[in-house]
Amino acid sequence: MKVLTAHQMKEIDRLTSERFLISPEILMERAGLSVVLALQSELKDLSKKSFLVLCGHGNNGGDGLVVARILHQYTDEVVTVVVGDKTKMSSETLANFKRLKAIGGIIKFLNEDLSLDELVQMVKNYDVVIDALLGIGIKGSVQGILAQVIDVVNLYARYVVSVDLPSGLDTDTGKVLGKAIKADLTVTFGLPKLCHILFPGRELTGILKVADIGIPKILLNADEIKRNIVTKDLVLSSLPKRIKDSHKGSYGKVLVIAGSKNYPGAAVLTSIAAYRVGSGYVQLVTCKPADEIALVREPSLIVRGFEQEFFTPSCLPTVFEVAKNSKVVVLGPGLTQSDQTREFVLQLLKELDLPMIIDADGLNNIAENLDVLFQRKGPTLLTPHFGEFARLVKLPIEAVKYNYSLVEEFSKKYGVITLLKGATTIISNGESTYFNLMGNTSLAKAGSGDVLAGMIGGLAAQGLDLLSAAFCGAYLHGLAAEMYNLKEGTMLTSELLDLIPKAMEEVCKVG
Ligand SMILES: NC(=O)C1=CN([C@@H]2O[C@H](COP(=O)(O)OP(=O)(O)OC[C@H]3O[C@@H](n4cnc5c(N)ncnc54)[C@H](OP(=O)(O)O)[C@@H]3O)[C@@H](O)[C@H]2O)[C@@H](O)CC1
Ligand SMILES: [K+]
C-alpha cells in the first residue's frame, strides 16, 4: 500500500477535481460520511452516544461539519464547536457550515459563544470527541487557544476520533508541532500519510482506517508515488517459490562472516536464521569459539573457525576461497571493532563482488571510511539501527530517527540499499522506499538484528534482489515476534528463530 506526503495528497486532490471533475465538495461530503461509517463500525449504535465535534476553519474543519450533520441523523446529542474564524472558511467549508445550521445543528464559536472552561465540561461529558481541528494544511507550531483545546481533549476526552490525522502532527514526519491530539481512532482518506506510520505520530493515530472517498484509483496507484507500506500481499508475491524437483543448491548458498571471541552468539543466530527462511546451504566463517557453538546448536551449518579472537586481513584468503561458491554474503554481526578487523572489512568490501548485507560491527568498522562503498562491485545492503546510522552520517540520534528522507538521500549518494531499524523500519534504495510496521517490543533485545540480517541473507540467496529480501525479511522478522504468544518482551532471540517458520506459514495462508 502506498503512503503519501501532504504535498502528494494535495496534488491528488487537485487532479481529482481538474482532470476527473470530482469537486472538493463531493470529496468533503464523502470524507465526512466515511468518518461516520467508521464510527459506526467501531461503536455500533450511534443513537446511544453523544458527540462533541471540534472544527478548525480549514477544510479539515469542513469535514467535521459534514460529520456533525450526518451524526444528527442518528442522535440529537451532537454539538459542534468551531475553534477558528468563520471569515477564513473556504467555500466548501462555509457551505457545510450553512448546511449544518439549516438542519438545526448547534454550532458554537469558542471564545464567542463558549469559554474554555465550558468546553472543558463538555469534553468531560460527551462520549465521543471528533477532532477536525487541523489536517494536512497545518503550518508551523500549534499555539494559543488551539494548543489549549488540544490539551483539554488529551486530558479529559473519553474517546477521540481524528479526522484525517491527529491535529498537530506534521503530515510528512509524524512529529508533534508543539501540541498534538492523542486519538483512539483516525480515519484518513484515499491512502495513509507518513504521519500515521512514523513515531510519535503512529502512536497518536490510534487505530487507523483508510476510507475510500472516490479518488480515482489511477491517481492513488500512480507509479510516481514511490513510498509503500510493506503488506502481507507484497511479501507473499515476492517470496521465492519452492519447486518439487529441487536440491539444496536450488535455494542458494549464504556465506555468513560473523562472530568473535567476545560475541560468538551473533554468528550462530545469523546463520540459523538464513536456514530458517529456506536457504539450502549456509556457510559460517567465524572465530573460535563460535564454530563449535554453532555446530552444537545446528549441525547442518558448514563452519570454518579461525583460531584467533577476531577477524584480521590474514583471514582474507580463506574467506575468498569459501565465497567462491556463495551467492550472497552477510557480514558483520559480532565482529567487534579493531584496526585489524577494520582492515579486513574494508578489503572484503573492495574485492568481493557478491551481493552483501552489512550489519552491526560491519557498519561500525566502515563508519570512518564510507567512501569504500563507492568501490563496491556488487549490490550492497546496510542494516543499521539508529545509533549505527547516526555514526555513519555523523548526526545525533534524534536527527536520524525515522528520517526517511535521510535514508533515501544516503542510499542514493552511496548507491546502496539502507534498512534503518526501528519500531517502523525504513528501507530504501534511494528511488523506492518501504516501511515495515510489523513487530513489537520483543524485538528490542540483543541478537534480534543478527537474526534479521541472516533472514535477509537467506532470502537473497534464494534469488530475491536485496531490496525485496530486505522488506520481506523485515516483515517476517516482525511477524515472527508478533506470533510469540507469551508476555511481550519475554521472548528469547533463539525463540524468535523458531517462530520464523510460523511467520512464513502465516504469510502464505490464503485470506
Ligand atoms: N486533500 C484532499 O483530497 C481532501 C482534503 N480534505 C480535508 O481537507 C484537509 C486539508 O484542508 P486545508 O488544506 O484547508 O487545511 P487544514 O488541515 O484544515 O488546516 C489549515 C487551516 O488551519 C490553520 N492552521 C494551519 N496551521 C496552523 C497552526 N499551526 N496553528 C493554528 N492554525 C493553523 C490555517 O489557518 P490560517 O493560519 O491560514 O488562518 C488553515 O485555515 C484535509 O486534512 C482533509 O481533512 C477532505 O475534505 C477530502 C479531500
Ligand atoms: K484532525
Model confidence band, residue 354 (pLDDT cutoffs 50, 70, 90): very high
Nearest ligand to the CA atom of 96: 1
Structural contact between residues 276 and 336, judged by C-beta atoms closer than 8 angstroms: no
Q: Determine the Cα–Cα distance for residues 511 and 496; give it in Å rounded to an integer.
A: 24
- CA-CA-CA-CA torsion sign (463, 468, 470, 475): negative
CB of 150 within 6 A of ligand 1: the answer is no
* Test site for ligand 1: of 134, 143, 145, most ligand atoms within 8 A of the Cβ: 134
Is residue 162 a known part of a binding site? Answer: no
Question: What number of other Cβ atoms are within 10 A of residue 347's Cβ?
Answer: 16
The answer to whether 339 touches 369, Cβ cutoff 8 Å, is no
Q: pLDDT of 381-432, one tens digit each?
A: 999 999 999 999 999 999 999 999 999 999 999 999 999 999 999 999 999 9
Instruction: Give me the residue spans of the domains in the chain.
Output: 6-225, 232-236+251-508
| Closest atom, ligand 1, to C-alpha of 16 | 3
Q: Is the CB of 139 under 6 A from ligand 1?
A: yes
Instruction: Name the burial class of residue 242, with classes exposed (0-12), middle (13-18) and buried (19+) by CB atoms within 10 angstroms of its CB.
Output: exposed
Reported as a pLDDT band with limits 50, 70 and 90, residue 242 is confident
* Predicted pLDDT of residue 234: 97
Cβ of residue 164 lying under 6 Å from some atom of ligand 1:
yes
Place of cell 525504513: 426
Q: Where in 83-167 does DSSP place strands (E)?
A: 106-109, 128-132, 160-163
Cβ-contact 293, 268 below 8 angstroms: yes
Q: Could you list which residues have their CB under 5 Å from ion ligand 2?
A: 131, 162-163, 167
Per the CB < 8 A criterion, the answer to whether 426 and 407 are in contact is: yes
Q: Give percent of the chain with pLDDT exceeding 90.
A: 97
CB of residue 171 inside a 6 A radius of ligand 1? no
pLDDT band for position 243 (cuts 50, 70, 90): confident
Ligand 1, atom 4, residue with closest C-alpha = 13
Contacts of 256 (CB under 8 A, 6+ apart): 267, 270, 271, 274, 282, 283, 284, 285, 286, 329, 330, 333, 454, 457
β partners of residue 160: 129
Crossing angle for the helix pair 91-102 and 59-71, nearest 10 degrees? 20
Write down the CATH superfamily of domain 232-236+251-508: Ribokinase (3.40.1190.20)
Mutate to test the pocket of ligand 1, among 82, 86, 133, 139 (most ligand atoms within 8 A of CB): 139
Q: For 102-114, what is each residue's pLDDT tens digit?
A: 999 999 999 999 9
* Helices first, then strands: H and E counts in the chain: 20, 17
Average pLDDT over residues 257-262: 96
CATH hierarchy code of domain 6-225: 3.40.50.10260
Ligand 2: centre distance to CA 64 (Å): 9
The candidate with the shortest Cα–Cα distance to 64, out of 93, 86, 106, is 93
H-run or E-run covering 273: helix 264-276
Confidence of residue 249 (pLDDT cuts 50, 70, 90): confident
Q: Is 235 in the pocket of ligand 1 (CB under 6 A)?
A: no
**Bigger pLDDT: 244 or 87?**
87
